[in-house]
């Protein structure tokens, strides 16, 4: 048997640079990935991320301002008066002095901060005060409160 040259040569061309870079890049990424997302190495955990997000959204909720943006705003108070007459006067009286509902110019048992008063109107109170949140929404709840306070706190005519 004699060696006959079959015409097929082994390729000696070098691996293209781009392929090499890509390969090394992927290998490095794989190491980084495994390292970063394996809890024993990096302390990464789904639970921790969840806790962090929860904490930051709790902080955001606390920051919701419970301060009436319409306090002493004449235009909002005028609108609030209309809302009051349509929704509240039947129980609390046209002059706010009470009826079925309590006197809105006297001491409040559920608290007298903006937040307390807002929640009384928005969510209602046990002893027969319906919640108006669904009907009025946030904005109009503040407006009717601005009207109530214009009489209650600032002595304006009802
Ligand atoms: C169906 C009758 C009724 C209507 C309508 C009504 N209220 Fe009341 N409201 C009551 C009663 C009754 C209470 C007392 C609840 C209690 O003592 O638990 C009350 C309580 C309140 C309180 C809390 C008072 C306190 O002592 O802390 C506020 C503020 C208030 N109402 C505002 C309003 C406003 C503003 C509206 C209109 C958007 C309105 N209410 C509509 C019956 C009504």
- Distance, CA of 127 to CA of 143 (rounded, Å): 23
pLDDT at 78 over 60: yes
Work out the average pLDDT over 69-85: 96
Cα 131 to middle of ligand 1, angstroms = 9
User: Residue 22, class by beta-carbon neighbours within 10 Å (0-12 exposed, 13-18 middle, 19+ buried)?
Assistant: exposed
R_g over Cα of the chain:
35
Unique residue bearing structure tokens 């809302």: 83
77 CB contacts (<8 Å, ≥6 apart)? Answer: 70, 143, 146, 147, 150, 156
pLDDT at 54 over 70: yes
Q: What is the DSSP string of 32-48?
A: HHHHHH-HHHH---HHH
pLDDT digits (tens, 9 = 90+) for 102-114: 999 999 999 999 9
**What is the predicted pLDDT for the residue at 68?**
94
Work out the average pLDDT over 71-87: 96
**What is the predicted pLDDT for the residue at 40?**
75
Question: Given ligand 1 and candidates 90, 94, 110, 125, which is best to mutate, with the most ligand atoms within 8 Å of its CB?
Answer: 125
pLDDT at 49 over 80: yes
Cα 112 to middle of ligand 1, angstroms = 13
Percentage of the residues of the chain whose pLDDT score is greater than 90: 65
Domain boundaries 74-152, CATH class: mainly alpha
pTM over 0.85: no
At 61, the pLDDT band (50, 70, 90 cuts) reads: low
105 lines ligand 1 (CB under 6 A): no
- In the chain, domain spans: 17-62, 74-152
At 62, the pLDDT band (50, 70, 90 cuts) reads: low
Ligand 1 atom closest to residue 141's alpha carbon, by position in its atom list: 38
Adjacent-strand bridge partners of 69: none
């Amino acid at each position: 048997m004699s060696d006959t040259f079959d015409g097929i040569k082994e390729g000696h061309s070098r691996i293209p640079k781009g392929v090499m870079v890509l390969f090394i890049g992927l290998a490095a990424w794989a190491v980084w990935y495994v390292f970063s997302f394996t809890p024993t190495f990096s302390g990464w955990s789904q639970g921790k991320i969840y806790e962090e997000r929860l904490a930051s959204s709790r902080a955001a909720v606390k920051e919701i301002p419970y301060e009436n943006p319409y306090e002493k705003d004449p235009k909002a108070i005028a609108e609030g008066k209309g809302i009051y007459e349509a929704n509240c006067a039947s129980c609390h009286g046209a002059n706010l002095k009470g009826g079925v509902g309590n006197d809105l110019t006297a001491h409040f048992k559920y608290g007298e901060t903006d937040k307390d008063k807002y929640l009384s109107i928005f969510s209602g109170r046990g002893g027969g005060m319906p919640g108006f949140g669904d009907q009025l929404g946030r904005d109009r709840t503040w407006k009717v409160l601005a009207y109530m306070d214009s009489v209650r706190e600032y002595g304006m005519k009802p």
